[in-house]
Structure 1
Amino acid sequence: MKNVTLVLGASLKTERYSNKAIKKLIAHNHVVEAIGLREGEVNGVHINKEKIEFSTIDTVTLYLNPTRQEEYYNYIISLAPRRVIFNPGTENFEFMKLLKENKIESEVACTLVLLATNQY
């Protein structure tokens, strides 16, 4: 099975970067899971409102501001992803420290740019 990316802060609004990221990830043949404020679907990816206990998450890409991230700290750590990507505006050094303590890589980057430059 391919590596799975969790888009956290997923939006149904087409102008949102999380929405664009889901579409680009799918276009690059990545398996995508999504969690957001509202349930719905983007390019065949169901957006969940609940914290699902996914067992195969490789990468979490964040689209939540640092304050909103706090309620997800333990959840993300429990998923044991290989890495967490902090997209522009989501940088959170407190959380990055926690991730490091739990042997999870963190990266300040833009998922869309990483995909466009084949660095994802």
Structure 2
Amino acid sequence: MLKATMVIGASLKPQRYSHSAIIRLDALNIPVIAIGLREGKVGTTQIMTFDTAVAQCDTLKENLDTITLYLNPQRQEEYYDFIIDLNPRRVIFNPGTENPAFAMKLQSKGILTESACTLVMLATGQY
């Protein structure tokens, strides 16, 4: 069974890259966990709020592989401890989300980081 990818910064708006990433991950049968400002659905994926995700942290980390970020660096700060507690194998910083200070924190915990575009990685088989 494939391990899940968590999309942080998930949007219900079809023009957003996070929305496209959820659709593409789902199309490739990669389990998706989506966290956004508003609850809702993108395809078959339910978007949960950060508070809901924090409450479910222990359950979420059981099958988690990757976190892909769609939040600017300032908005990421409230997620630092949550992401570190989840202990994913890797965190992808999509264009516009690059955060060297946070990447260094993650790397010090043994979490791989990549500054890359999830959509390009999926399209080129590099995911």
| TM-score, normalisation: structure 2 | 0.92
Residue identity over aligned pairs, in percent, reads 57
Q: Which amino acid aligns with 1:75?
A: F
Counterpart for residue 114 of structure 2: 107
CA deviation after TM superposition for structure 1 residue 29, in Å: 1.2
Q: Which amino acid aligns with 2:106?
A: L
Aligned equivalents of 1:115, 1:85: Cα separation in 2: 12
CA deviation after TM superposition for structure 1 residue 3, in Å: 1.2
Counterpart for residue 44 of structure 2: 44
Aligned equivalents of 2:3, 2:91: Cα separation in 1: 13
CA deviation after TM superposition for structure 1 residue 95, in Å: 0.3
Aligned equivalents of 2:48, 2:29: Cα separation in 1: 21
Counterpart for residue 66 of structure 1: 73
**Alignment root-mean-square deviation, CA:** 0.7
Aligned length: 120
Pair 1:16-2:16 in alignment: yes
| TM-score, normalisation: structure 1 | 0.98
Aligned equivalents of 2:117, 2:28: Cα separation in 1: 15
Counterpart for residue 88 of structure 1: 95
CA deviation after TM superposition for structure 1 residue 28, in Å: 1.1
Q: Secondary structure at the match of 1:7?
A: strand
Any idea what the Cα deviations from partners look like across 1:37-79, whole Å, max 9, x if unmatched? 0000001100000223112210000000000000000000100
Moved over 2 A (4+): none
Aligned equivalents of 2:106, 2:99: Cα separation in 1: 11
Unaligned runs of at least 5 residues, structure 2: none
Aligned equivalents of 2:36, 2:121: Cα separation in 1: 22
